[in-house]
Copies of this chain bind each other. A is one copy, B any other.
Amino acid sequence: MRILILGGDGYLGWPTAMYFSARGHEVHTVDNYLRRRVHQEAGTDSLTPIAENLPARAQAWRHVTGYHIGVTEGDITDWALVESLFRETQPDAIIHYGEMPSAPYSQMSRDHAVFTQYNNVVGTLNVLFAMRDLSPDAHLVKLGTMGEYGTPNIDIEEGFINIRHGGREDRLPFPKMPGSLYHCSKVHDSTNIHFACRVWDLRATDLNQGVVYGIETEETNIDPRFATRFDYDEVFGTALNRFCLQAVIGHPLTTYGKGGQTRGYLNILDTLQCVELAALNPPESGDYRVFNQFTQQFAVNELAEVVQRAGAEYGFDVKVEHIENPRIEKEEHYYNAKHSALLDLGLKPHYLSETLVESMFSVIERYKDRVRTSAILPRTKWRPERRVSEPAV
Protein backbone atom coordinates (compact mmCIF):
# COMPACT_ATOMS: atom_id res chain seq x y z
CA MET A 1 0.00 0.00 0.00
CA ARG A 2 0.97 3.62 -0.57
CA ILE A 3 0.72 5.18 2.86
CA LEU A 4 0.86 8.88 3.67
CA ILE A 5 1.65 9.62 7.31
CA LEU A 6 0.75 13.12 8.48
CA GLY A 7 2.70 14.08 11.59
CA GLY A 8 5.39 11.54 10.74
CA ASP A 9 7.96 13.12 13.06
CA GLY A 10 5.89 12.64 16.21
CA TYR A 11 5.93 10.22 19.16
CA LEU A 12 3.63 7.86 17.27
CA GLY A 13 4.13 9.11 13.72
CA TRP A 14 7.76 8.10 13.39
CA PRO A 15 7.35 4.58 14.85
CA THR A 16 4.31 4.16 12.56
CA ALA A 17 6.37 5.17 9.53
CA MET A 18 9.08 2.63 10.34
CA TYR A 19 6.51 -0.07 11.16
CA PHE A 20 4.76 0.19 7.78
CA SER A 21 8.02 0.64 5.90
CA ALA A 22 9.48 -2.52 7.50
CA ARG A 23 6.41 -4.41 6.33
CA GLY A 24 6.91 -3.53 2.70
CA HIS A 25 4.57 -0.57 2.30
CA GLU A 26 5.48 2.57 0.40
CA VAL A 27 5.60 5.25 3.11
CA HIS A 28 5.66 9.02 2.77
CA THR A 29 5.81 11.27 5.84
CA VAL A 30 4.91 14.92 6.38
CA ASP A 31 5.63 17.10 9.38
CA ASN A 32 5.98 20.80 10.16
CA TYR A 33 7.97 20.20 13.40
CA LEU A 34 5.34 21.95 15.48
CA ARG A 35 6.13 19.91 18.57
CA ARG A 36 9.89 20.47 18.24
CA ARG A 37 9.27 24.22 17.93
CA VAL A 38 6.99 24.39 20.95
CA HIS A 39 9.57 22.47 22.99
CA GLN A 40 12.31 24.82 21.84
CA GLU A 41 10.30 27.88 22.82
CA ALA A 42 9.58 26.39 26.24
CA GLY A 43 13.19 25.28 26.76
CA THR A 44 12.10 21.65 27.07
CA ASP A 45 12.89 18.55 25.05
CA SER A 46 12.22 14.87 24.53
CA LEU A 47 13.85 12.71 27.21
CA THR A 48 15.22 10.43 24.52
CA PRO A 49 17.63 12.06 22.09
CA ILE A 50 16.09 11.89 18.62
CA ALA A 51 17.58 12.46 15.20
CA GLU A 52 17.70 16.12 14.23
CA ASN A 53 14.89 16.04 11.67
CA LEU A 54 12.79 13.81 9.47
CA PRO A 55 15.27 13.60 6.56
CA ALA A 56 17.98 12.50 9.03
CA ARG A 57 15.63 9.86 10.42
CA ALA A 58 14.70 8.59 6.97
CA GLN A 59 18.35 8.56 5.90
CA ALA A 60 19.39 6.51 8.92
CA TRP A 61 16.46 4.17 8.30
CA ARG A 62 17.50 3.70 4.69
CA HIS A 63 21.13 3.23 5.65
CA VAL A 64 20.36 0.46 8.16
CA THR A 65 17.36 -1.28 6.61
CA GLY A 66 17.53 -0.43 2.94
CA TYR A 67 13.93 0.82 3.02
CA HIS A 68 12.94 4.23 1.68
CA ILE A 69 10.68 6.59 3.64
CA GLY A 70 9.65 9.72 1.74
CA VAL A 71 9.74 13.05 3.54
CA THR A 72 7.96 16.37 3.11
CA GLU A 73 8.78 19.12 5.58
CA GLY A 74 5.69 21.28 5.58
CA ASP A 75 2.37 22.26 7.05
CA ILE A 76 -0.92 20.61 6.13
CA THR A 77 -2.82 23.85 6.79
CA ASP A 78 -1.11 24.95 3.55
CA TRP A 79 -3.47 23.83 0.78
CA ALA A 80 -0.87 24.08 -1.99
CA LEU A 81 1.33 21.64 -0.08
CA VAL A 82 -1.50 19.20 0.59
CA GLU A 83 -2.66 19.30 -3.01
CA SER A 84 0.78 18.55 -4.46
CA LEU A 85 1.36 15.90 -1.80
CA PHE A 86 -1.76 14.02 -2.81
CA ARG A 87 -0.98 14.41 -6.52
CA GLU A 88 2.52 13.07 -6.05
CA THR A 89 1.94 10.26 -3.57
CA GLN A 90 -1.52 9.06 -4.61
CA PRO A 91 -2.06 7.41 -1.24
CA ASP A 92 -4.18 4.33 -0.58
CA ALA A 93 -4.29 5.25 3.08
CA ILE A 94 -3.69 8.49 4.93
CA ILE A 95 -2.70 8.06 8.56
CA HIS A 96 -3.44 11.38 10.14
CA TYR A 97 -1.50 12.21 13.33
CA GLY A 98 -0.79 15.71 12.00
CA GLU A 99 -2.38 17.81 14.73
CA MET A 100 -1.53 19.88 17.77
CA PRO A 101 -1.93 17.09 20.37
CA SER A 102 -1.89 18.78 23.77
CA ALA A 103 -4.82 19.69 26.02
CA PRO A 104 -2.77 21.99 28.32
CA TYR A 105 -1.31 23.79 25.28
CA SER A 106 -4.81 24.60 24.03
CA GLN A 107 -5.78 25.98 27.43
CA MET A 108 -2.78 28.32 27.87
CA SER A 109 -4.31 31.42 26.30
CA ARG A 110 -6.70 32.63 23.65
CA ASP A 111 -3.88 32.55 21.11
CA HIS A 112 -3.10 28.92 21.93
CA ALA A 113 -6.75 27.95 21.79
CA VAL A 114 -7.36 29.65 18.45
CA PHE A 115 -4.16 28.22 17.01
CA THR A 116 -5.09 24.70 18.15
CA GLN A 117 -8.55 24.76 16.61
CA TYR A 118 -7.39 26.52 13.45
CA ASN A 119 -4.48 24.13 12.98
CA ASN A 120 -6.42 20.94 13.58
CA VAL A 121 -9.67 21.84 11.84
CA VAL A 122 -8.13 23.46 8.75
CA GLY A 123 -5.46 20.77 8.33
CA THR A 124 -8.14 18.09 8.42
CA LEU A 125 -10.46 20.02 6.07
CA ASN A 126 -7.55 20.24 3.61
CA VAL A 127 -7.08 16.48 3.80
CA LEU A 128 -10.79 15.89 3.21
CA PHE A 129 -10.87 18.18 0.16
CA ALA A 130 -7.70 16.57 -1.22
CA MET A 131 -9.30 13.16 -0.82
CA ARG A 132 -12.52 14.33 -2.46
CA ASP A 133 -10.77 15.80 -5.47
CA LEU A 134 -7.63 13.67 -5.85
CA SER A 135 -7.93 10.37 -3.95
CA PRO A 136 -11.63 9.63 -3.52
CA ASP A 137 -10.98 5.92 -2.96
CA ALA A 138 -8.29 6.38 -0.33
CA HIS A 139 -8.91 5.54 3.32
CA LEU A 140 -8.44 8.16 6.00
CA VAL A 141 -7.18 6.69 9.28
CA LYS A 142 -7.59 9.61 11.65
CA LEU A 143 -6.26 9.76 15.17
CA GLY A 144 -9.06 10.95 17.40
CA THR A 145 -9.14 10.65 21.16
CA MET A 146 -11.20 8.96 23.85
CA GLY A 147 -11.28 12.45 25.39
CA GLU A 148 -13.94 13.40 22.84
CA TYR A 149 -16.53 11.49 24.88
CA GLY A 150 -15.71 12.92 28.29
CA THR A 151 -16.97 10.88 31.22
CA PRO A 152 -20.68 10.20 30.73
CA ASN A 153 -22.66 8.21 33.25
CA ILE A 154 -23.47 5.53 30.65
CA ASP A 155 -21.25 3.05 28.81
CA ILE A 156 -19.30 4.68 25.99
CA GLU A 157 -19.93 2.99 22.64
CA GLU A 158 -17.60 3.08 19.65
CA GLY A 159 -18.64 6.31 17.94
CA PHE A 160 -22.33 5.57 17.52
CA ILE A 161 -25.14 4.60 19.85
CA ASN A 162 -28.57 3.11 19.24
CA ILE A 163 -31.06 5.40 20.91
CA ARG A 164 -34.67 4.39 21.58
CA HIS A 165 -36.70 7.48 22.23
CA GLY A 166 -40.43 8.13 22.16
CA GLY A 167 -41.15 4.75 20.60
CA ARG A 168 -38.68 5.21 17.74
CA GLU A 169 -35.04 4.26 17.25
CA ASP A 170 -31.96 5.52 15.45
CA ARG A 171 -28.22 4.89 15.45
CA LEU A 172 -26.63 8.29 16.02
CA PRO A 173 -23.21 9.75 16.83
CA PHE A 174 -22.35 9.15 20.48
CA PRO A 175 -22.76 12.47 22.39
CA LYS A 176 -19.52 14.31 23.06
CA MET A 177 -18.36 16.18 26.17
CA PRO A 178 -14.73 17.07 25.37
CA GLY A 179 -12.55 18.12 28.29
CA SER A 180 -10.37 20.85 26.74
CA LEU A 181 -10.31 23.14 23.73
CA TYR A 182 -7.88 20.66 22.16
CA HIS A 183 -10.38 17.85 22.72
CA CYS A 184 -13.07 20.15 21.25
CA SER A 185 -10.92 20.46 18.10
CA LYS A 186 -10.96 16.67 17.76
CA VAL A 187 -14.74 16.66 18.08
CA HIS A 188 -14.88 19.29 15.32
CA ASP A 189 -12.72 17.04 13.14
CA SER A 190 -15.00 14.07 13.78
CA THR A 191 -18.04 16.14 12.80
CA ASN A 192 -16.34 17.26 9.57
CA ILE A 193 -15.03 13.79 8.65
CA HIS A 194 -18.41 12.19 9.27
CA PHE A 195 -19.99 14.83 7.03
CA ALA A 196 -17.41 14.23 4.28
CA CYS A 197 -18.14 10.49 4.34
CA ARG A 198 -21.91 11.03 4.20
CA VAL A 199 -21.82 13.63 1.46
CA TRP A 200 -18.72 12.86 -0.62
CA ASP A 201 -18.67 9.07 -0.17
CA LEU A 202 -15.23 9.13 1.39
CA ARG A 203 -14.17 6.32 3.70
CA ALA A 204 -12.65 6.99 7.11
CA THR A 205 -11.75 5.34 10.37
CA ASP A 206 -11.64 7.58 13.42
CA LEU A 207 -9.41 5.98 16.02
CA ASN A 208 -10.51 7.35 19.37
CA GLN A 209 -7.30 6.57 21.12
CA GLY A 210 -6.64 6.33 24.83
CA VAL A 211 -3.46 7.49 26.53
CA VAL A 212 -0.41 5.83 24.99
CA TYR A 213 2.57 4.70 27.07
CA GLY A 214 5.88 3.07 26.24
CA ILE A 215 9.11 4.00 24.50
CA GLU A 216 10.10 0.94 22.60
CA THR A 217 8.88 -0.71 19.44
CA GLU A 218 10.45 -3.42 17.34
CA GLU A 219 11.91 -0.76 15.06
CA THR A 220 13.02 1.85 17.60
CA ASN A 221 15.17 -0.84 19.19
CA ILE A 222 17.17 -1.50 16.02
CA ASP A 223 19.31 1.62 16.16
CA PRO A 224 19.58 4.60 18.57
CA ARG A 225 18.83 6.91 15.62
CA PHE A 226 15.41 5.23 15.30
CA ALA A 227 14.39 6.25 18.83
CA THR A 228 11.06 8.01 19.18
CA ARG A 229 10.53 11.04 21.36
CA PHE A 230 9.46 10.66 24.99
CA ASP A 231 7.75 13.69 26.53
CA TYR A 232 7.39 14.11 30.27
CA ASP A 233 6.70 17.85 30.47
CA GLU A 234 3.38 19.36 31.53
CA VAL A 235 2.44 20.17 27.94
CA PHE A 236 3.09 16.97 26.01
CA GLY A 237 3.75 14.39 28.73
CA THR A 238 1.02 11.90 29.65
CA ALA A 239 0.28 10.30 32.99
CA LEU A 240 2.03 6.92 32.89
CA ASN A 241 5.14 8.11 31.01
CA ARG A 242 5.49 10.95 33.51
CA PHE A 243 5.01 8.66 36.51
CA CYS A 244 7.76 6.31 35.29
CA LEU A 245 10.13 9.23 34.88
CA GLN A 246 9.26 10.62 38.30
CA ALA A 247 9.93 7.23 39.86
CA VAL A 248 13.38 7.11 38.23
CA ILE A 249 14.44 10.60 39.32
CA GLY A 250 13.09 10.18 42.86
CA HIS A 251 10.28 12.70 42.45
CA PRO A 252 6.90 11.85 44.00
CA LEU A 253 4.35 10.76 41.40
CA THR A 254 2.11 13.78 40.96
CA THR A 255 -1.52 12.75 40.65
CA TYR A 256 -3.96 15.56 39.89
CA GLY A 257 -6.67 15.95 42.53
CA LYS A 258 -8.28 12.84 43.98
CA GLY A 259 -6.86 10.63 41.24
CA GLY A 260 -10.10 8.82 40.50
CA GLN A 261 -10.02 10.08 36.90
CA THR A 262 -10.38 6.94 34.77
CA ARG A 263 -9.26 6.71 31.17
CA GLY A 264 -8.34 4.12 28.55
CA TYR A 265 -4.66 3.29 28.09
CA LEU A 266 -2.60 1.33 25.59
CA ASN A 267 0.97 0.37 24.86
CA ILE A 268 2.64 2.08 21.90
CA LEU A 269 3.05 -1.40 20.39
CA ASP A 270 -0.72 -1.69 20.30
CA THR A 271 -1.09 1.71 18.63
CA LEU A 272 0.98 0.33 15.76
CA GLN A 273 -1.08 -2.86 15.60
CA CYS A 274 -4.35 -0.93 15.70
CA VAL A 275 -3.38 1.51 12.98
CA GLU A 276 -2.24 -1.39 10.81
CA LEU A 277 -5.47 -3.34 11.41
CA ALA A 278 -7.49 -0.26 10.49
CA ALA A 279 -5.43 0.38 7.34
CA LEU A 280 -5.56 -3.24 6.15
CA ASN A 281 -9.32 -3.45 6.70
CA PRO A 282 -10.77 -0.30 5.13
CA PRO A 283 -14.47 0.50 5.43
CA GLU A 284 -16.78 0.80 2.46
CA SER A 285 -16.92 4.00 0.47
CA GLY A 286 -19.19 6.43 2.35
CA ASP A 287 -18.60 4.72 5.67
CA TYR A 288 -17.37 6.66 8.70
CA ARG A 289 -16.23 4.14 11.29
CA VAL A 290 -15.10 4.82 14.84
CA PHE A 291 -12.93 2.45 16.89
CA ASN A 292 -12.14 3.04 20.53
CA GLN A 293 -8.41 2.38 20.57
CA PHE A 294 -7.23 1.31 24.01
CA THR A 295 -6.76 -1.97 25.81
CA GLN A 296 -7.30 -1.27 29.53
CA GLN A 297 -8.95 1.28 31.79
CA PHE A 298 -7.16 2.70 34.81
CA ALA A 299 -7.83 5.38 37.36
CA VAL A 300 -4.82 7.66 37.82
CA ASN A 301 -4.41 6.25 41.36
CA GLU A 302 -4.24 2.71 39.96
CA LEU A 303 -1.48 3.73 37.55
CA ALA A 304 0.43 5.28 40.41
CA GLU A 305 0.12 2.02 42.35
CA VAL A 306 1.45 -0.02 39.42
CA VAL A 307 4.46 2.28 39.20
CA GLN A 308 4.95 2.09 42.97
CA ARG A 309 4.94 -1.72 42.91
CA ALA A 310 7.27 -1.86 39.93
CA GLY A 311 9.50 0.69 41.67
CA ALA A 312 9.66 -1.43 44.82
CA GLU A 313 10.79 -4.42 42.75
CA TYR A 314 13.29 -2.31 40.86
CA GLY A 315 14.70 -0.75 44.02
CA PHE A 316 13.07 2.69 43.95
CA ASP A 317 11.21 4.18 46.90
CA VAL A 318 8.25 5.71 45.10
CA LYS A 319 5.97 8.21 46.84
CA VAL A 320 2.68 9.59 45.54
CA GLU A 321 1.65 13.21 45.99
CA HIS A 322 -1.86 14.46 45.25
CA ILE A 323 -1.44 17.95 43.85
CA GLU A 324 -4.12 20.51 43.01
CA ASN A 325 -5.84 19.54 39.78
CA PRO A 326 -5.12 22.19 37.13
CA ARG A 327 -7.95 20.80 35.00
CA ILE A 328 -11.68 21.03 35.44
CA GLU A 329 -12.81 17.41 35.36
CA LYS A 330 -14.67 14.86 37.44
CA GLU A 331 -12.27 13.19 39.87
CA GLU A 332 -14.68 10.39 40.76
CA HIS A 333 -16.98 9.09 38.08
CA TYR A 334 -18.41 6.11 36.26
CA TYR A 335 -16.36 5.01 33.28
CA ASN A 336 -16.87 2.05 31.02
CA ALA A 337 -15.88 2.37 27.39
CA LYS A 338 -16.42 -0.36 24.83
CA HIS A 339 -13.40 -1.39 22.80
CA SER A 340 -14.13 -4.62 21.00
CA ALA A 341 -13.94 -3.56 17.34
CA LEU A 342 -10.13 -3.69 17.10
CA LEU A 343 -10.02 -6.93 19.12
CA ASP A 344 -12.48 -8.38 16.61
CA LEU A 345 -10.10 -7.38 13.80
CA GLY A 346 -7.31 -9.30 15.51
CA LEU A 347 -5.61 -6.97 17.99
CA LYS A 348 -3.41 -8.88 20.45
CA PRO A 349 -3.01 -6.49 23.38
CA HIS A 350 0.17 -5.92 25.34
CA TYR A 351 -1.30 -5.37 28.78
CA LEU A 352 0.32 -3.17 31.37
CA SER A 353 2.60 -5.06 33.75
CA GLU A 354 5.23 -4.26 36.33
CA THR A 355 7.74 -5.82 33.92
CA LEU A 356 6.85 -3.31 31.20
CA VAL A 357 7.11 -0.46 33.68
CA GLU A 358 10.52 -1.73 34.79
CA SER A 359 11.72 -1.85 31.19
CA MET A 360 10.59 1.79 30.87
CA PHE A 361 12.56 2.58 34.03
CA SER A 362 15.69 1.17 32.44
CA VAL A 363 15.38 3.28 29.27
CA ILE A 364 14.60 6.39 31.32
CA GLU A 365 17.62 5.75 33.58
CA ARG A 366 19.85 5.87 30.53
CA TYR A 367 18.79 9.49 29.87
CA LYS A 368 18.25 10.55 33.47
CA ASP A 369 20.73 13.44 33.18
CA ARG A 370 18.61 15.01 30.43
CA VAL A 371 15.59 15.52 32.72
CA ARG A 372 14.56 19.12 33.42
CA THR A 373 12.52 18.74 36.57
CA SER A 374 11.15 22.29 36.31
CA ALA A 375 9.17 21.23 33.23
CA ILE A 376 7.18 18.52 34.99
CA LEU A 377 4.70 20.29 37.24
CA PRO A 378 1.51 21.70 35.70
CA ARG A 379 1.34 25.45 35.26
CA THR A 380 -1.61 25.75 32.89
CA LYS A 381 -4.93 25.98 34.70
CA TRP A 382 -8.19 25.23 32.93
CA ARG A 383 -9.87 28.05 34.86
CA PRO A 384 -7.60 31.06 35.24
CA GLU A 385 -7.55 32.52 38.72
CA ARG A 386 -7.93 36.20 37.96
CA ARG A 387 -11.51 36.93 36.99
CA VAL A 388 -12.12 40.60 36.35
CA SER A 389 -15.80 41.38 36.76
CA GLU A 390 -15.53 45.07 36.11
CA PRO A 391 -12.67 45.72 33.71
CA ALA A 392 -10.56 48.82 34.07
CA VAL A 393 -11.25 51.09 31.13
A residues at B contact (CB < 8 Å): 79, 86-88, 90, 110, 113-114, 117-118, 121-122, 125-126, 129, 132-137, 152-155, 161, 163-166, 168-170, 172-178, 180-181, 184, 187-188, 191-192, 194-195, 198-201, 328, 334, 382-384, 387-391, 393
Q: Which residues of the other chain, B, contact A388 by a CB distance below 8 angstroms?
A: 133-134, 136
- Given A172-B177, A177-B172 in contact, is the A110-B125 Cβ separation under 8 Å? yes
Whether B110 contacts A118 by the Cβ 8 Å rule is no
Q: Which residues of the other chain, B, contact A129 by a CB distance below 8 angstroms?
A: 110, 113
Q: Which residues of the other chain, B, contact A382 by a CB distance below 8 angstroms?
A: 199
Please name 18 further chain A to chain B contacts, defined as beta carbons within 8 Å, in addition to the given A79-B110, A87-B391, A110-B125, sorted by A numbering: A79-B114, A90-B390, A90-B391, A113-B125, A114-B125, A117-B188, A117-B192, A121-B121, A135-B391, A153-B170, A154-B165, A163-B163, A172-B175, A172-B177, A173-B176, A178-B195, A180-B195, A184-B191
Residue of B nearest to A82 (CB): B110
Distance between Cα atoms of A380 and B382 in the complex (Å) = 42
A122 to chain B, nearest CB (A): 6
Residue of B nearest to A201 (CB): B383
Whether A136 contacts B328 by the Cβ 8 Å rule is no
5 tightest Cβ-Cβ pairs between the two chains A and B: A172-B175, A153-B170, A110-B129, A154-B165, A188-B188
Distance between Cα atoms of A177 and B288 in the complex (Å) = 12
Whether B122 contacts A114 by the Cβ 8 Å rule is yes
Distance between Cα atoms of A113 and B178 in the complex (Å) = 24
Residue of B nearest to A173 (CB): B175
Q: Which residues of the other chain, B, contact A201 by a CB distance below 8 angstroms?
A: 383
A146 to chain B, nearest CB (A): 16
Residue of B nearest to A153 (CB): B170
- Given A177-B173, A188-B188, A328-B199 in contact, is the A118-B122 Cβ separation under 8 Å? yes
Whether B173 contacts A87 by the Cβ 8 Å rule is no
- Given A117-B121, A166-B155, A175-B163 in contact, is the A328-B110 Cβ separation under 8 Å? no
Q: Which residues of the other chain, B, contact A393 by a CB distance below 8 angstroms?
A: 87-88
A129 to chain B, nearest CB (A): 4
Whether A383 contacts B200 by the Cβ 8 Å rule is yes
Copies of this protein chain in the complex: 2
Distance between Cα atoms of A381 and B170 in the complex (Å) = 28
Whether B155 contacts A170 by the Cβ 8 Å rule is no
Q: Which residues of the other chain, B, contact A79 by a CB distance below 8 angstroms?
A: 110, 114
Distance between Cα atoms of A179 and B297 in the complex (Å) = 35
Q: Which residues of the other chain, B, contact A195 by a CB distance below 8 angstroms?
A: 178, 180-181, 184
Whether B181 contacts A192 by the Cβ 8 Å rule is yes
Pick the contact of A169: B154, B184, B383 (CB < 8 A).
B154
Whether B166 contacts A154 by the Cβ 8 Å rule is yes
Pick the contact of A175: B114, B153, B175, B198 (CB < 8 A).
B175
Whether A168 contacts B126 by the Cβ 8 Å rule is no
- Given A173-B176, A195-B184 in contact, is the A389-B117 Cβ separation under 8 Å? no
Pick the contact of A168: B137, B177, B188, B334 (CB < 8 A).
B334
Distance between Cα atoms of A247 and B153 in the complex (Å) = 53
Q: Which residues of the other chain, B, contact A170 by a CB distance below 8 angstroms?
A: 152-154
Whether A117 contacts B113 by the Cβ 8 Å rule is no
Pick the contact of A328: B90, B163, B198 (CB < 8 A).
B198
Whether A387 contacts B153 by the Cβ 8 Å rule is no
A180 to chain B, nearest CB (A): 8
Distance between Cα atoms of A165 and B175 in the complex (Å) = 13
A257 to chain B, nearest CB (A): 15
